[in-house]
Each structure stands twice: as C-alpha cells, then as structure tokens.
Amino acid sequence: MLPHKKITILVVDDELSIREAFSDWLKQDGFEVETADDGPVALAKIKERHYDIMLVDVKMPQMDGITLLKHLKENDPDTAVVMMTAHGAIQDAVEAIKLGANDYLLKPFELEELSLTIEKLVQMQTLAMENLILKDRVASITRFENLVGQSPPMLKLFETIVNVARSDATVLITGETGTGKELVARTIHARSPRGYSPFIAINCGAFTEHLLESELFGHERGAFTDAKFTKKGRLEMANAGTLFLDEVGDISMKMQIDLLRVLETHEFTRVGGTTTINSDFRVIAATHQDLQESIRRRTFRQDLFYRLNVIHLEVPPLRERPEDIPLLAEHFLRRYATETGKKIDSIHPEALAAMRRHAWPGNIRELENAIERAVVVGKSRQIKPADLPFVFAPGGAEEAANLSLEDMERRHIALVLAAEGGHITNAAKVLRINRNTLYEKIKKYGLTP
Ligand SMILES: Nc1ncnc2c1ncn2[C@@H]1O[C@H](COP(=O)(O)OP(=O)(O)OP(=O)(O)O)[C@@H](O)[C@H]1O
Ligand SMILES: [Mg+2]
C-alpha cells in the first residue's frame, strides 16, 4: 500500500453535495481532504499550503476551472490536477490536458472511478519523487569507484572489495553475463597496492588452445610459422600488476594443467623458448559458468578451481537488486547524454516503472545498452517508455506476449524508422544492423521508410 496518510487533496466544486460526497469517500481511502466552493477560495488556499492533488470542476460561477488551472500551474506546478467536466464538454477536458492537467473525469462518474484515478496519480507522484531523490544520491553515497549500487548485496560487495584489495590473494569472481565481473576486477586492482602497475586482461574463451598458449606465455621468434618476432605473453606483461583471467571456465583441460603450474610457481618459458621467466602477478579470474558443475562433468580441474577460488566473489544479477535499477539508469543517462551532447536529463516515471518490471537477462550491460539507445532515439528531454527497447507501445507486455518474433521485429523496425523520420542510415545505427540488412527487412515486411 502506498503512503496515503501524507497525501493531501483539495476538492474544488461549487456543489455542496459533491464536495461532501468526495470528501467522505476520499477520507475513507486514507487521504487528507479539504474543500473549496469556487476558484478564488481555492486560490487563497493554495497560497497557504501545498496540496498534492486537486480535483477541479470546470464550471463554477466566479472563476472557471480552466482559469484556476492556469493560476495553479504558475503558483504550484507540482500539484497534480484532475479536471471534472460534463459529458457533453469533452473539449474542456482536452483544453485542460493541454494546459497541464494530469487527468480528467467525465461527470457523472462512480466513486470507484475517482479512487482509481487518484491511485494512479499517487503512484506517478511517488515515482517522480523517487526520481528526484535519486538525482542527489547518484552523486554521493551510491558509488564505489566506478561501481554504482546501493542494494544490500552491492554494499556488501563494496566492503569485501576493500578488504580483498589489501591482500594479494587470488580471487574468483562469478556471476551471470553483464553483471559487472570485469568492473569488479578492475576495482580490486585499482584499490590494491598494485594499482599503479598494469591490469592485464585476457579473455580465455576467445582463443584456440594454441593461440591462448602463446598469448599467455609469449613466444620466441620462429616458434611456429607465424612467429616472426619474439613476443611477450600476458603473464610477463602483468609483472608487478594484476592478471585478469576472464572466462576462465572456457580453458581446455590441457591448458588448465599449464596454467595451474604457472600459478603455483610464477615461472614459465615462452613457447619455443628455454629460458625460465619469472613474473610477479596477482590473479583475478572470472567466469559466468558454474565451475562446480564443470568439475562434475570433468571439464574443469578441481585442483585449478581450488587454486583460483581462494576468495570467491559473487556478483548478483540485476533482478535480485531492483533498488539499483533506477540508480544505474540515471548513471548511464548522464554518461550517454554527456557523450552525445543531447539534452535529456530525466526518466519518465512510467519508463522507470517499466524498467523495474523488466527481468534484465543481460543484466547491467543490457540496461546500459537500453539507456544508450533511449538517448539516441529520444526526442524530448525525458526518456519515455516508448524509447525503451523492451516496451512495445502502446500494447505493453501482455500484447507483446501474443506476438511472434517476426511480428515483434516488424513492429520494432517500424517504430525505429518512425522515430528516425525514415532516415535509413540512422535507423540502421539504432538497430545495430547494416543498411543492406535493414533494406532487406523493410522489403520483407512491406514497410515504407
Ligand atoms: N555496478 C555497476 N555500476 C556501473 N556500471 C556497471 C556496474 N556493473 C557493470 N557495469 C557496466 O556494465 C557493463 C558490463 O560490465 P562487465 O563487462 O564488467 O560485466 P561482466 O560480468 O564482465 O560481463 P560478461 O560476463 O558478459 O563478460 C560495463 O560497461 C560496465 O562498466
Ligand atoms: Mg566480462
């Protein structure tokens, strides 16, 4: 339940029966309610204090609701306004919305309908307030080096990083894709006594066994056909610094033996060489795989696991720390707005709500990409729900659930094309496909650019 207690509503209507009925009803819903019987009375009241919500009748004898609304928007623009207008006078409602009213009700209406409308406004206001508070917070306590977060698991992680950075122990970082494993590794390095020496990363999953061997250990000239020069390996480059073994779960069984040996002795020879080389590096490893499971399947050596897993850090997936979503969104918004020079400085409460509902299978990387894209396609100062790749305007999630993948692709392309004013190159950029692919898809789906 939302914190109704503190929310104040002013009902402005010239009919006594309406004022009384609304007042009783809304008080039962837990709101603090006051009334005014005409525009000038309401104006006097809003000079005295702030109301969160105002219910305003359009037709009143001394000052009509539209005039009152204009005054209100000048005096206290943060008040949410619901206009009440007669069924035949929908144009008044339209005019009111244009002037900044948040919603309208067509008389006569059921009291339940009134409750729903108010409830919706309360939710929006709570979210908008959260948004404001966030802005202050992002700048201060919610940052640890480049890591943003305020959820209990992240605060705990920050604490662990401080301790781990002081030691020279080997660290194994696990977590789903995009959770920030590499960023955590970089943070540990930066805060460690080795921070001024190099941080050498190697993605073990990106190389074949032979290439990985020469990448890690280096090679002598002529060691194999392509070895035209002597090359230092990453183990050597990481001397005095930190070696980050990314995707360590992807290493072949043979390489695991070699790696284990070098982690124990810090001694090795280059491929094709005979000289023993010594390197003083600290190891931080990361993987998105479940290494215990790999050990059971005999694709990962238990002894190597123990060697790496001296200290274990688990980076939680984003869906387990929803408190961090708005914070991270704000953080990335600042970054990409600055980078692109676009004047986008806030996130619509509904967009924020959609982000909270999303499951984020790609975790923070997905969130970062979503915000980057929203900044690129955004046409106003605020990120709107429709700017988010996982929101399908106007139907929302339920409608999306009935669409085939092709339907979604068609709609998404149409959406981006429209947002880019039919500009193929820009649309292709947003969609991250090349122009030819986009042309093909436009033809396939019978779209008009
Ligand atoms: N807590 C955080 N605060 C700010 N940015 C973050 C945070 N965590 C991750 N990021 C950003 O999200 C992106 C993905 O992070 P990173 O590359 O560290 O993830 P990863 O776990 O190594 O992913 P993968 O398993 O796919 O390699 C990066 O751009 C990183 O800067
Ligand atoms: Mg990574």
Q: In the CATH scheme, what is the code of domain 145-316?
A: 3.40.50.300
Region label for 218, one of left (φ > 0), alpha (ψ between -120 and 50) or beta (otherwise)? left
Q: Which of 171, 182, 318 to mutate to test the pocket of ligand 1 (most atoms within 8 A of CB)?
A: 182
Query: What's the gap between Cα 197 and its chain centre?
Result: 32
Strand blocks (E) in 142-281: 143-144, 147-148, 171-174, 199-203, 218-219, 231-232, 242-246, 267-268, 277-278
For the chain, give every domain's residue range: 4-137, 145-316, 322-445
Cβ–ligand 1 distance for 149 under 6 Å, the answer yes
Helices then strands, counting H and E runs in the chain, come out as 19, 18
Nearest CA to ligand 1 atom 9: 180
pLDDT classification of 141: cutoffs 50, 70, 90:
very low
Ligand 1 contact, 155 CB (< 6 A): no
Instruction: Read off the pLDDT of each residue in 136-142 and give the average, rounded to a whole number.
Output: 51
Instruction: Write the CB contacts of 79 (distance below 8 Å, at least 6 apart in sequence).
Output: 46, 50, 51, 52, 53, 54, 72
Read off the pLDDT of residues 31-64 as tens digits, 9 standing for 90 and up. 999 999 999 999 999 988 889 899 999 999 999 9
Encode pLDDT of 173-186 as tens digits: 999 999 999 999 99
Q: Is any ligand 1 atom within 6 A of the Cβ of residue 186?
A: no
Angle in degrees, CA 87, 12, 76, rounded to 5: 110
Per-residue model confidence as pLDDT tens digits over 313-356 = 999 999 999 999 999 999 999 999 988 888 898 998 888 988 98
For ligand 1, the distance from its centroid to the CA atom of residue 177, given in whole angstroms, is 8
The answer to whether the 4-137 and 145-316 domains have the same CATH topology is: yes
Question: Residue 276 corresponds to which amino acid?
Answer: T
Q: How far apart are CA 430 and CA 369, in angstroms?
A: 11
CA nearest 171: which of 194, 152, 147?
194
- Position 3 scores a pLDDT of 41
The answer, yes or no, to whether any atom of ligand 1 lies below 6 A from the CB of 175, is: yes
Give the residue, by CA position, lying nearest to ligand 1 atom 12: 365
Residue type, 114: L
Q: Is the pLDDT of residue 235 over 90?
A: yes
Beta strands in 24-66 (DSSP E): 32-36, 53-57
pLDDT in tens, 405-419: 887 888 888 888 877
Share of the chain above pLDDT 70, in %: 92
Pocket test of ligand 1: the residue of 154, 158, 179 to mutate, having most ligand atoms within 8 Å of its CB, is 179
Structure tokens at 394: 């106007």
Give the whole-angstrom CA distance, residue 386 versus residue 274. 62
**Quick one: how far is CA 77 from the chain centroid?**
29
- Please state which CATH number belongs to domain 4-137: 3.40.50.2300
- List Cα–Cα distances, 290 to 69, 207, 246, 347, 386, in angstroms: 60, 20, 14, 36, 36
Kindly give the number of the ligand 1 atom that is closest to the alpha carbon of 203. 27
Q: Which two tokens stand for residue 449?
A: 């650019």
Domain 322-445 matching CATH 3.30.70.270: the answer reads: no
CA of residue 372 to ligand 2 center, whole Å: 19
Among positive and negative, which fits the CA dihedral 168, 170, 176, 177?
positive
- Which ligand lies nearest to the CA atom of residue 364 in the structure? 1
Per-residue pLDDT, 349: 85
Distances in whole angstroms, Cα of residue 36 to Cα of each of 25, 97, 110, 228 = 16, 22, 21, 89
pLDDT greater than 50 at residue 5 = no
Among 138, 171, 179, 183, residue to substitute to test ligand 1 (most atoms within 8 Å of Cβ): 183
Nearest protein CA to atom 23 of ligand 1, as residue: 178
102 phi, psi to nearest 5 deg: -85, -30
